[in-house]
């Protein structure tokens, strides 16, 4: 798969999967709605249009945003998907055509937004965070969606069409689901895809967590701890994105605008359920990761203790013995004074010393065993 993250995407740093501060912003005091192009775009701009009625589906790749005009007046639903690094001109064109609010356009450009929903008259603006976990890296990609009567405009800063699975379902000739329902069902389908991407990510986390747990219980190393920390970090950053997403879906469910039909609400409730489950999984993963740090710390203490015990035993046995043999190494003039170590001259003096040493050792070993140190 051809995966090249665009420049405007959160955390494109190859070493770190997600940076702590992943927000793009204008200098404080800049006028709201200012559209400044970001650094040279890596991901070329592709504008994909999908126009469908109850009977037909038409797909076009547009040269410029203005080319979508002919599709707008028709009594059909139109989905314009802008993939890649969007330029300010395209945004301005779309803004004028669909009467998009300048603050919303600014948010499309400044990725790293907190997922949120904004209602402008009869238009909805949503930013979503899609977690992706590939090549050992976790990234969140900002998906921006404008929904109005009969149209949906999506933005994705990657040069890849993440919504291909939805498109595939729409193209199926006998699929009446999209055809017979309003644009809100398309909105649901996209949100559902974005949210469900959380499952494989969390499954990967779950597996990593289980591997780390076995490691931390069996043979913990400093690397294990570093990895747990990295996991906690990724969970934390992901959580920062997913909590507001949950609120967003909830808000969408309770929005009073006529945009979401009762029929689609059932589907959105299912979506909401998924966000809740994903967050609960996340929180329980965080809890377990913290518990593993405790296990790790205890393991290190435990090993220090084990090492200490060995040292203590060896030292405690041999230091007294060394003292004893040291005594008989003293150069007192044994023959001249009867007080000066007469044992040195005894016939059984040497075995006696050994006996003494064996006695001392046995005594210490017995003492250690009784105290539970051996």
Residues between 276 and 315 with contacts to a second copy, criterion CB under 8 A = 276-277, 280-281, 284-285, 287-288, 291-305, 307-312, 314-315
Q: Which is nearer to a second copy, 66 or 314 (CB)?
A: 314
Least separation in angstroms between CB 246 and a second copy: 13
Q: Are 245 and 129 in contact (CB under 8 A)?
A: yes
Hey, is 28 helix, strand or coil?
coil
For a second copy, which is the closer residue by CB, 67 or 230?
230
The reply to whether 233 sits near a second copy by the rule CB under 8 A is yes
Q: Measured in whole angstroms, how far is the alpha carbon of residue 274 from the centre of its chain?
A: 17
- Restricted to residues 166-205, the positions that interact with a second copy (CB under 8 A) are 166, 168-169, 175, 177, 192-193, 196-197, 199-200, 202-203, 205
Q: Is 48 in the site for a second copy (CB under 8 A)?
A: no
Q: Compute the least distance from the CB of residue 137 to a second copy, in Å.
A: 16
Rg (CA), the chain: 36
CB of 303 vs a second copy, minimal distance in Å: 6
> What is the DSSP code (8-state) at residue 134?
E
Size of residue set near a second copy by CB under 8 A: 122
Residues 19-38 interacting with a second copy (rule: CB under 8 A): 19-21, 23, 25-32
Shortest separation between residue 75's beta carbon and a second copy, angstroms? 25
Residue from 116, 137, 150, 215 touching a second copy (CB under 8 A): that is 116
**Cβ proximity to a second copy, 62 vs 341, nearer residue:** 341
Beta carbon nearer to a second copy, 97 or 236: 236
Question: According to the binding rule CB under 8 A, does residue 360 interact with a second copy?
Answer: no
Question: Would you count residue 351 as binding a second copy (CB under 8 A)?
Answer: yes
| Dihedral, CA of residue 288, residue 17, residue 200 and residue 291, to nearest 10 | 0
Comparing CB distances to a second copy, the nearer of 72 and 300 is 300
Displacement of CA 227 from its chain's centroid (Å): 12
- Six-digit token pair at 234? 């990724």
Smallest separation (angstroms) from a second copy to the CB of 158: 15
Selected binder of a second copy within 41, 72, 353, 365 (CB under 8 A): 353
List 142's β-bridge partners, or say none.
129
Binding test (CB under 8 A) with a second copy, winner from 57, 72, 344, 365? 344
Alpha-carbon distance 158 to 87, whole Å? 13
Report the distance separating Cα 43 and Cα 336, nearest Å.
100
* Binding status of residue 14 toward a second copy by CB under 8 A: no
In terms of CB distance, is 62 or 92 closer to a second copy?
A: 92
Q: Please, are residues 97 and 69 in contact by the beta-carbon 8 Å criterion?
A: yes
| DSSP-based three-state secondary structure for 173 | coil
Q: Exposed, middle or buried by CB within 10 Å (0-12, 13-18, 19+), for 46?
A: middle
Q: Tokens 């007469």 correspond to what residue?
A: 342
What are all long-range contacts of 310-315, with beta carbons under 8 Å and residues at least 24 apart? 312/373, 313/368, 313/373, 313/374
Structure tokens belonging to residue 43? 């991901």
Q: How far is the CB of 281 from a second copy (least distance, A)?
A: 7
């Amino acid at each position: 798969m051809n995966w090249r993250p665009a420049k405007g995407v959160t955390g494109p740093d190859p070493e770190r999967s997600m940076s702590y501060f992943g927000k793009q912003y204008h200098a404080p005091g800049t006028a709201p709605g200012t559209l400044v192009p970001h650094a040279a775009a890596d991901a070329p701009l592709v504008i994909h249009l999908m126009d469908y009625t109850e009977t037909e589906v038409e797909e076009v790749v547009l040269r410029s945003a203005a080319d979508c005009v002919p599709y707008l007046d028709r009594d059909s639903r139109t989905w314009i998907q802008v993939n890649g690094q969007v330029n300010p001109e395209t945004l301005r064109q779309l803004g004028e055509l669909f009467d998009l609010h300048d603050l919303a356009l600014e948010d499309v450009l400044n990725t790293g937004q907190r997922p949120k929903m904004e209602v402008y008259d009869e238009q909805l603006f949503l930013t979503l965070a899609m977690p992706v976990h590939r090549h050992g890296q976790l990234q969140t990609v900002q998906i921006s969606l404008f929904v109005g009567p009969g149209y949906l405009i999506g933005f994705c800063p990657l040069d890849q069409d993440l919504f291909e699975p939805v498109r595939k379902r729409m193209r199926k000739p006998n699929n009446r689901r999209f055809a017979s329902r309003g644009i809100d069902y398309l909105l649901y389908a996209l949100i559902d895809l974005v949210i469900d991407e959380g499952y494989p990510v969390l499954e990967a986390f779950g597996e990593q967590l289980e591997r780390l747990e076995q490691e931390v219980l069996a043979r913990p190393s400093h690397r294990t701890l570093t990895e747990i920390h990295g996991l906690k970090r990724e969970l934390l950053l992901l959580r920062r994105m997913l909590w507001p997403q949950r609120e967003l879906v909830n808000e969408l469910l309770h929005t009073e605008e006529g945009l979401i039909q009762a029929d689609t609400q059932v589907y959105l409730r299912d979506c909401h359920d998924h966000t809740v489950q994903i967050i609960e999984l996340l929180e329980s993963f965080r809890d377990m990761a913290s518990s593993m740090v405790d296990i790790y710390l205890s393991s290190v203490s435990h090993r220090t203790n084990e090492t200490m015990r060995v040292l203590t035993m060896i030292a405690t046995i041999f230091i007294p013995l060394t003292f004893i043999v040291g005594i008989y190494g003293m150069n007192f003039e044994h023959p001249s004074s009867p007080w000066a170590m007469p044992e040195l001259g005894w016939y059984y003096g040497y075995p006696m010393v050994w006996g003494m040493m064996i006695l001392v050792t046995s005594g210490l070993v017995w003492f250690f065993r009784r105290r539970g140190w051996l």
